[in-house]
Amino acid sequence: MTSSGTNSGADPHLPSAESLSPAWELLLPAAAPARGRGRALRSALREAVRSGRLAGGTRLPSSRELAADLGVSRGLVTEAYEQLTAESYLRSGRGAGTWVSEGVRAAERPVRDRAPGAEGARVDFRPGTPDLSLFPRSAWAAAQRTVFGRLPHGALGYPDPRGLPELREALAGLLARRRGVVADPERLVVCSGVAQATTLLGFVLRDEGVVSVGVEDPGSPEHSSLFAATGLGTVPLPLDDEGLALAPLERSGVRAVVTTPAHQFPTGIGYSARRRGELLGWARDADAVIMEDDYDGDFRYDRAPVGALQGLDPERVVYTGSVSKSLAPGLRLGWLVAPAALTERIVARKRTMDLGNPVLDQAVLADFIVRGGYDRQLRRCQRAYRERRDAMVAALGEHFPGTAVSGIAAGLHIIARLPTRYGPEDVFLERAAGAGIALRLLSDCGTDGSGDGGLPLVLGYAHLAPGDIARGVAALAEAWRTGRTGSG
């Protein structure tokens, strides 16, 4: 490669590095320890091209000039130019100098964060988020220290795709004791939350020839999108006061259905004992599978939680749950308890999907459960969320008199049906948005039951302190009274 400053055949109107900025300013990282200067120079040149600081068509200094500016050997610069030319960041020609390639696309914007959230909202009443400030940082850190001290080197290899044996054993005991699940550790699969459990089941059902899955209507929109990702369609099935309505389910012809029987999302009802029995009878008669999403089954405030549906027929029900509501969704730790007929196929799909969940996180959760930390965390959350539910109901009664709150006293959200005088729906939402208040309508989750009258909202409260709930509901009422909108 020719590294001289000669520029014969080059366009004199194109910019040069010298005309844009001194070489030493562009390549400060090259001021590195002697052994690392070559690597630092190559890295700095790449970054300057990628970021657009050295645009396509820019002529670089000769190797002699750049070496003098940086106080390094000419050979080091020559090697850097040659390496980046081989990588297509630079181009060169005999007697024409060294130039930045035109084909390199510079970064156009910083890395974006697409985590869910209500950007700019003063108060976010949307459901589904626990109070992340309740995460037991000290206890979790202690469990991490314990695990790091005793975990053998061999445990850091690829794990059993079902999960670490000690975590599966700990979860089996926990689920049997708290939720009445028939939980054989050999049939328990640790997953990246209920989302992965759903897709694992979806792939296995599709391989068996299933083409569609029944979903509750109204229900969680995520169920339909997750099954769609596995190639399955979904059939919305209506609810009645006892749970999933049986006659439409029987007429649908589906061989699999998703349910949230402990605390239906979003209506908040608990499936009746009669409906649970009828649903299991349907599954046996239709040779069908029920997926039970027990997303917040531990949080019942007026009585002991009703046991899981799976405990009544573990060969017809795929039980799923996670720590997303009890600890934090960012941990991405959940579980699936499979019927014997599906276990090996689910495990095989889990193996090809990701080779298993992170070992250290599993070991920490196992230790946390065994030492009683998880039970203490559940009690702490139950106290906090019961207080916040009461605060939400009281605030609605004060600022929106006549509001009907439906569903059992459980979970992290309520259904609040505001009187019809607060409609129409679009005007109410516009005024709420103008006040910086994020809401979710029941209609966002499917059929909204608006024929019953009123304006039905799904209001989350678990992530808000009681005082913030009271102030947020008051601000919502004020926004309605004053007629403030997003444009005003």
User: What would the DSSP string read from start to end of 135-148?
Assistant: S-HHHHHHHHHHHH
Residue 105 belongs to some domain of the structure: no
Regarding whether 193 and 308 lie in a shared domain, the answer is yes
pLDDT value at position 146?
A: 95
pLDDT value at position 3?
A: 40
Phi-psi region at 109: left, alpha or beta (left = phi > 0; alpha = psi -120 to 50): beta
Phi-psi region at 206: left, alpha or beta (left = phi > 0; alpha = psi -120 to 50): alpha
CATH (domain of 395): 3.90.1150.10
pLDDT value at position 108?
A: 62
Helices then strands, counting H and E runs in the chain, come out as 16, 16
CATH (domain of 208): 3.40.640.10
Per-residue pLDDT in tens (0 to 9) along the chain, 488 residues = 444 443 444 444 444 544 444 444 556 454 556 677 888 888 888 888 888 888 888 999 888 988 888 888 899 899 999 999 999 999 987 777 899 998 777 666 677 778 777 667 889 999 999 999 999 999 999 999 999 999 999 999 999 999 999 999 999 999 999 999 999 999 999 999 999 999 999 999 999 999 999 999 999 999 999 999 999 999 999 999 999 999 999 999 999 999 999 999 999 999 999 999 999 999 999 999 999 999 999 999 998 889 999 999 999 999 999 999 999 999 999 999 999 999 999 999 999 999 999 999 999 999 999 999 999 999 999 999 999 999 999 999 999 999 999 999 999 999 999 999 998 888 999 999 999 999 999 999 988 655 566 899 999 999 999 999 999 999 999 999 988 544 33
Of the candidates 312, 336, 371, which is a domain's last residue? 371
Regarding whether 178 and 300 lie in a shared domain, the answer is yes
Report the alpha-carbon distance of residue 283 to residue 254 in Å, rounded.
Answer: 10
| Contact call for residues 120 and 65 (beta carbons, < 8 A) | no
Regarding whether 150 and 267 lie in a shared domain, the answer is yes
CATH (domain of 36): 1.10.10.10
Question: What DSSP state is assigned to residue 308?
Answer: P
> What is the identity of the amino acid at 51?
S
Regarding whether 158 and 81 lie in a shared domain, the answer is no
Regarding whether 398 and 323 lie in a shared domain, the answer is no
| Contact call for residues 59 and 102 (beta carbons, < 8 A) | no
Rg (CA), the chain: 30
Cβ neighbours for 203, distance < 8 A, ≥ 6 positions apart: 230, 349
Regarding whether 449 and 315 lie in a shared domain, the answer is no
Q: How long, in residues, is the chain?
A: 488
Residue 386 belongs to some domain of the structure: yes
Report the alpha-carbon distance of residue 4 to residue 18 in Å, rounded.
Answer: 15
Residue 122 DSSP SS3: coil
Cβ neighbours for 150, distance < 8 A, ≥ 6 positions apart: none
Residue 10 belongs to some domain of the structure: no
Regarding whether 390 and 361 lie in a shared domain, the answer is no
pLDDT value at position 94?
A: 73
Residue 109 belongs to some domain of the structure: no
Regarding whether 272 and 245 lie in a shared domain, the answer is yes
Residue 30 belongs to some domain of the structure: yes
Regarding whether 186 and 88 lie in a shared domain, the answer is no
Regarding whether 229 and 362 lie in a shared domain, the answer is yes
pLDDT value at position 488?
A: 37
Of the candidates 345, 371, 397, which is a domain's last residue? 371
Residue 108 belongs to some domain of the structure: no
Torsion sign over Cα 480, 481, 483, 488 = negative
Report the alpha-carbon distance of residue 359 to residue 157 in Å, rounded.
Answer: 8
Domain membership of residue 28 as a residue range: 17-100
Residue 112 belongs to some domain of the structure: no
Number of independent structural domains in the chain: 3
Regarding whether 466 and 328 lie in a shared domain, the answer is no
Residue 278 belongs to some domain of the structure: yes
Regarding whether 235 and 166 lie in a shared domain, the answer is yes
Of the candidates 316, 348, 371, which is a domain's last residue? 371
Helix (H) or strand (E) holding 455: strand 455-460
Report the alpha-carbon distance of residue 336 to residue 168 in Å, rounded.
Answer: 10
> What is the identity of the amino acid at 222?
E
Where do the H-state alpha helices sit in 31-89?
37-51, 63-70, 74-86
